[in-house]
Amino acid sequence: MNPFLAFDNALGFRAIRIHYSADPEKNPLSDDPAQAARAEAWLDAQRRAYPDPNDFAREMEINWSAGYGARVFPQFTDTHHAVGQTLRKHKRLVRGWDFGWHAPVCLIGQIDGQERLALLKEIVGANKRRTILLLTCCAVVLSGFRIIRRASMTIATRRAATQEHGV
């Protein structure tokens, strides 16, 4: 890959792409073995700064297809990000979903006493075929609650859902 690339894009703007290896001090492929070792140490430190290898590949290696179709926040875990949150029957639930082709997801949360969204549950399907299972899980988890729906719906569907649930 050329570490420095300048070109005119489809909209007629001048675009410049500069890879870290354009800087001789950061090029691990340097002809000087000592310089290459320092550059490799720098690169290892940069890798450790990114918790997700896909983020590193996109940001540092300029690989726009890295992690294509993966979860937006793969680091999310119920045990770390939803600690101490419990369903409160007297509060409305907020539910959102995304029917992503690779990983459909349903998020369930409530607004806390400080007007913040407290995420209670994240249910992720592996692919499009599991969307029905995903929505069934949401229905089971949410049974008995008044729900505020948040999703990509047509206006007619949204109006029907609002009338049906009294939201």
Can you list the domains of the chain with their CATH numbers?
4-59 (no CATH), 78-165 (3.10.20.370)
| Residue carrying the six token digits 């690989």 | 63
Residues 10-36 pLDDT 10s: 999 999 999 999 999 999 999 999 999
**3-state secondary structure (DSSP) of residue 108:** strand
> 40: pLDDT confidence band, cut at 50, 70 and 90?
very high
Tokens (6 digits) for 97: 């979903």
How much of the chain is in helix, strand and coil states, percent to nearest 5?
A: 35, 20, 45
pLDDT value at 126 more than 80: no
Residues 144-160 pLDDT 10s: 555 555 444 333 344 44
Query: What value, to the nearest 5°, has the Cα angle with vertex 50 and ends 118 and 27?
Result: 160
